[in-house]
Amino acid sequence: MTLKEKIIGIPRALTFYNYFPFLCGFFTNLGFEIILSDPTTKKTLVDGASLVVTETCLPIKVYVGHVINLIEKGVKNIFTPSIQSVAPKIYNCSKIRGLPDLIRNVVKGDYNLIEATLDKSEKNLGLMEFLEQAVKPFGILDKDKIKAALKAGFVLHNNFKVMMQHNLTFEKALKNAREGKVVINSKDEETEGINVALVAHGYNIYDKRICMDVFKKLKDLGVKVFSALQLTDEQLRDGINTLEAELYWANQLEMTGAAGHYLKSDSIDGLITITAFGCGPDSLMIEDIKRKSRNFNKPLLNLTIDEHTGEAGFVTRLEAFCDMLYRKKRAGTRFSQEKELVYSSSMSS
Ligand code: SF4
């Protein structure tokens, strides 16, 4: 059966934070209307958590909640891809790989699951095939049109990345990219405070509810925050080499790659990693990052989140860490000034 209305619902969760700019350019070019689920609320969390086993990681519970939100908004076609492998022998976790199966089994209702599989470790399951699968239910079979839409997707994605690299917020970069604009902050504000790198999956830091708006909380503490989305692919790969890590996980670039880059950056005072409780890949990557970070003499704080994480405890740990970074920085400045004084006085004697 061919679906008549070119309307597609996209859950504002998980891979949304990595691939939505591309998907937005792609579907819009083909004449689709895109409906996003609403930003995460307590209800999203409760709805999602009620349908899966307790041990499931928070981002998956949130994803399920967003699918329910789309159904409640009356959206009939819900895009739920299975992103198996993003490069030969580079895989996602089993939960992201099996997302369509999970949704089909736990979310009942009157909707069509628009599935597509990306598996670059297999033949004939590359990006073009993935996109063909995504639009086939709507009767779109013209490969030239799909290729043109693919290009439009990359244009929007690249514009979004350029703006992120010039320190626009996620929301502003996405809004501008969707409006076909590229806005660049002309001057990178110098900060007298401290610079911190947030090392985490996009869905764990850009979903304000999941991370309790960590960007704002750090900004309020006078901290300038950096993340993987501000780095180029080359910088992320270089970060992997810096930590001598072996690439296996699809999202390892945004964790280990970003950590490697920021650990060796002189302008970064400390790293905060945020991981979801029960995440297998993260526990492996974080252990590796923690072990190797000792060579860089840079403080690192690891925060684990789940649906029960209390905001007060979260803030206290952020404050204590930033306070320590401020003290360390002041001591370092004093130390270097003292060194300079000693040096100048020995010159004059
Ligand atoms: S990578 Fe971890 S946090 Fe993300 S979906 Fe998989 S298990 Fe959950």
- Substitution candidate for ligand 1 out of 58, 60, 82, 206 with most atoms within 8 A of CB: 60
Domain boundary among 163, 180, 205: 163
The helix/strand/coil state of 82 is strand
Widest CA span in the chain: 91
- Residue 349 falls inside a structural domain: no
Residues 20 and 100 in one domain: yes
Residues 196 and 230 in one domain: yes
Q: Which amino acid is at 211?
A: C
Half-sphere exposure of residue 86: CA atoms within 13 angstroms, side-chain side: 15
**pLDDT tens, residue order, the chain (349 aa):** 788 889 999 999 999 999 999 999 999 999 999 999 999 999 999 999 999 999 999 999 999 999 999 999 999 999 999 999 999 999 999 999 999 999 999 999 999 999 999 999 998 899 999 999 999 999 999 999 999 999 999 999 999 999 999 989 999 999 999 999 999 876 555 556 899 999 999 999 999 999 999 999 999 999 999 999 999 999 999 999 999 999 899 999 999 999 999 999 999 999 999 999 989 999 999 999 999 888 898 999 999 998 888 889 999 999 999 999 999 988 876 545 444 444 333 333 2
Residues 150 and 208 in one domain: no
The helix/strand/coil state of 84 is strand
Ligand 1 atom at shortest distance from the alpha carbon of 204: 3
Residues 83 and 230 in one domain: no
- Residue 1 falls inside a structural domain: no
Ligand 1 centroid to Cα of residue 288, in Å, is 17
CATH code for the domain of 109: 3.40.50
Closest-CA residue, ligand 1 atom 2, reads: 279
- Substitution candidate for ligand 1 out of 91, 279, 284, 309 with most atoms within 8 A of CB: 279
Residues 105 and 140 in one domain: yes
- Interatomic CA distance for residues 3 and 135, integer angstroms: 10
Residues 15 and 116 in one domain: yes
Domain boundary among 110, 145, 163: 163
pLDDT of residue 347: 37
Question: Residues lining ligand 1, judged by CB closer than 6 Å?
Answer: 57, 59-60, 93, 95-96, 201, 276, 279-282
- Interatomic CA distance for residues 64 and 99, integer angstroms: 9
Residues 140 and 238 in one domain: no
Ligand 1 centroid to Cα of residue 276, in Å, is 7
Q: What residues contact residue 163 under an 8 Å CB cut-off, 6+ apart? A: 172, 173, 176, 177, 182, 183, 184
Is-contact 253 240, C-beta < 8 A? yes
Environment class of 112 (CB within 10 Å of its CB; exposed 0-12, middle 13-18, buried 19+): middle
Q: Which amino acid is at 17?
A: Y
Residues 131 and 225 in one domain: no
- Residue 221 falls inside a structural domain: yes
Residues 228 and 298 in one domain: yes
The strand pairing partners of 197, in sequence order, are 226, 271
Q: What residues contact residue 271 under an 8 Å CB cut-off, 6+ apart? A: 196, 197, 198, 199, 259, 262, 263, 293, 298, 299, 300, 301
Give, as one character, the DSSP assignment of residue 76. -
Q: Which amino acid is at 335?
A: F
Ligand 1 centroid to Cα of residue 95, in Å, is 7
Residues 108 and 216 in one domain: no
Give, as one character, the DSSP assignment of residue 247. P
Ligand 1 centroid to Cα of residue 59, in Å, is 7
- Residue 223 falls inside a structural domain: yes
- Residue 328 falls inside a structural domain: yes
pLDDT of residue 278: 85
Ligand 1 atom at shortest distance from the alpha carbon of 94: 6
Q: What residues contact residue 179 under an 8 Å CB cut-off, 6+ apart? A: none
Ligand 1 centroid to Cα of residue 328, in Å, is 34
Ligand 1 centroid to Cα of residue 235, in Å, is 23
Ligand 1 centroid to Cα of residue 57, in Å, is 6
Ligand 1 centroid to Cα of residue 27, in Å, is 26
- Residue 344 falls inside a structural domain: no
CATH code for the domain of 256: 3.40.50.11900
- Residue 226 falls inside a structural domain: yes
pLDDT of residue 342: 40
Number of domains in the chain: 2
pLDDT of residue 348: 33
Residues 324 and 206 in one domain: yes
The helix/strand/coil state of 45 is helix
Ligand 1 atom at shortest distance from the alpha carbon of 282: 2
Closest-CA residue, ligand 1 atom 1, reads: 93
Environment class of 343 (CB within 10 Å of its CB; exposed 0-12, middle 13-18, buried 19+): exposed
Residues 11 and 158 in one domain: yes
- Residue 62 falls inside a structural domain: yes
Closest-CA residue, ligand 1 atom 6, reads: 93
Domain that holds residue 47: 7-163
Query: What are the angstrom distances between the C-alpha of 125 and each of 42, 87, 151?
Result: 37, 11, 18
